Amino acid sequence: MRKLLSRKLAVASATFAVMLGMSGLAQATESPAAGAASSGGERYILRLHHLHTGEDIDIVYRIGNEYLPDAIAKLNYFLRDHRTNDVSHYDPKEFDLLHQVLAKLGKPNSVIDVVCGYRTPWSNNYLRTRAAVTGVAKNSQHMLAKAIDIRVPGVSTSRLRDVALSLHEGGVGYYPISQFVHVDVGPVRQWTFAGGGD
């Protein structure tokens, strides 16, 4: 009888230990986003308005050091090539760059107007053939989903350019006639294009 009772206790203890282990495993494999949310990390928010599609997005895309996959997917769709509807996968550092620009402007809750996001090679070539000189690079960072052309309502294009340049995070193109600034997370460089186009 004692042996039977002893075996039952051993089985019960083993079952309890396995259940505890599984509970710990469930906690350890909790999604990074949920873990970041529960840890109370800084919330990174973007509010964008697309000038070609008329669409708006207001989204938390990162908490602490963790990017939120669903939010990144929504931003990728929002920034799709508006001519072809093709979607790419943006370098999340580009979203951080937009966030930094607004913070440096002292307008962290402002809306950014998007002039151009992702471009397929077809769209990029189309823009390049619209005039003899277009200001559109043959190997544009837009095709790599690493660039966005932007405006910030209430902020001059020259001020926006200066703030973007001060961050030293990538390429900054100044388009004073078309009134937008190109910001990308490619190599650090700068240029000005005094013609029209997007």
Structure confidence by residue, pLDDT tens digits, 62-99:
999 999 999 999 999 999 999 999 999 999 999 999 99
CA–chain centroid gap for 87, Å, is: 13
User: Do strands 43-50 and 112-116 pair parallel, antiparallel, or not at all (unpaired)?
Assistant: parallel
- Work out the pLDDT band at 40, boundaries 50, 70, 90: confident
- Extract the tokens encoding 26: 């469930």
Identify the DSSP state of 144.
G
- Extract the tokens encoding 195: 């013609």
Query: What's the CA gap between 150 and 115, in Å, rounded?
Result: 5
- Work out the pLDDT band at 195, boundaries 50, 70, 90: confident
- Work out the pLDDT band at 35, boundaries 50, 70, 90: very low
Nearest to 148 by CA among 109, 115, 107: 115
Which whole number is the average pLDDT over 11-28?
37
Q: Which amino acid is at 171?
A: G
- Work out the pLDDT band at 136, boundaries 50, 70, 90: confident
55: enclosing H helix or E strand? none
